[in-house]
């Protein structure tokens, strides 16, 4: 009988790099893969449920948890805080689930740092950097969305250049192409990591 200990698959990409599409495909294709419900200090939008879409915290509660070291990573965006609770990840792993994290490069660095002092996290963590082959391709994707002002596009391109220079911090590099190819490569990484000898629990059947 063969079993595998769960993994944390952390995917980072520049804005417009395609990680949301890839993550959605992975979740749809893998019943044992779960996303983490993240935390935020923003107010719920119509239809959002606490504990399902986000964990909605007051700024004071978020700051208290941050000070206690409860987050794997957290950031403040436009005055609202967002973060991933370490306990949420550990609970999913303990239940036998693989965990999918969709986090930016700075957040990935924070997760790696926390994992160095936790053997469960360090043993489970697998990091992937997803990026278009060129800045021109990324610019085309950002402009194709038609959702951002010019100054936002230029800022995101500058950030992408800095983020791409840090690809060597990750276990895997996936240079983005067609969506189907990106999803296939990510699935191959997920499958290969679950087959690692260090994660296997095997007993030859009688």
Q: How far apart are CA 63 and CA 49, in angstroms?
A: 22
Structure tokens at 61: 């509660």
Confidence of residue 147 (pLDDT cuts 50, 70, 90): low
Q: How much of the chain, in percent, has pLDDT values that exceed 90?
A: 70
pLDDT value at position 2?
Answer: 59
0.85 exceeded by pTM: yes
How sure is the predictor about 201, in pLDDT bands with cuts at 50, 70 and 90?
Answer: confident
pLDDT for 92: 97
**β-strand 172-175 against 125-131: which pairing, if any?**
parallel
- Residue recorded with tokens 């206690």: 68
CA distance 101 to 7: 11
pLDDT (average), residues 186-201: 93
How large is the angle between the packed helices 150-164 and 135-145, nearest 10 degrees? Answer: 150
How confident is the model at residue 187, as a pLDDT?
Answer: 98
Please tell me the CATH code under which domain 2-36+96-202 is placed. 3.40.50.300
φ/ψ of 176, rounded to 5, equals -70, 140
Question: For the chain, which residues make up each domain, given as ranges?
Answer: 2-36+96-202
User: Does residue 78 surpass a pLDDT of 80?
Assistant: no
pLDDT in tens, 30-62: 999 999 999 999 999 999 999 999 999 999 999
Q: Which long-range contacts (CB under 8 A, 24 or more apart) does 68-74 make?
A: 71/39, 72/110, 72/111, 72/114, 72/121, 73/103, 73/106, 73/107, 73/108, 73/110, 73/111, 73/114, 74/39, 74/107, 74/110
Q: How far apart are CA 13 and CA 106, in angstroms?
A: 11
Residue pair 77/39 in contact by the 8 Å Cβ criterion:
no
Q: What mean pLDDT, rounded, does the chain reach? A: 91
């Amino acid at each position: 009988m063969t079993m595998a200990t769960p993994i944390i698959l952390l995917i980072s990409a520049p804005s417009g790099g395609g990680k949301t599409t890839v993550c959605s495909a992975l979740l749809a294709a893998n019943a044992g893969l779960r996303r983490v419900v993240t935390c935020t200090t923003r107010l719920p939008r119509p239809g959002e449920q606490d504990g399902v879409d986000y964990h909605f915290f007051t700024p004071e509660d978020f700051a208290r948890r941050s000070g206690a070291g409860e987050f794997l990573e957290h950031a403040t965006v436009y005055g609202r805080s967002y973060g991933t609770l370490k306990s949420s990840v550990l609970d999913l792993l303990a239940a036998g689930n693989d965990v999918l994290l969709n986090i930016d490069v700075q957040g990935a660095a924070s997760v790696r740092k926390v994992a160095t002092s936790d053997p469960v996290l360090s043993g489970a963590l697998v990091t992937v950097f997803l990026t278009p082959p060129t800045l021109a391709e990324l610019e085309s994707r950002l402009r194709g969305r038609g959702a951002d002002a010019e100054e936002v596009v230029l800022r995101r391109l500058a950030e992408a250049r800095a983020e791409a220079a840090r690809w060597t911090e990750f276990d895997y590099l996936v240079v983005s192409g067609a969506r189907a190819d990106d999803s296939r490569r990510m699935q191959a990484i997920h499958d290969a990591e679950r087959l690692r000898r260090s994660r296997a629990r095997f007993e030859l059947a009688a």
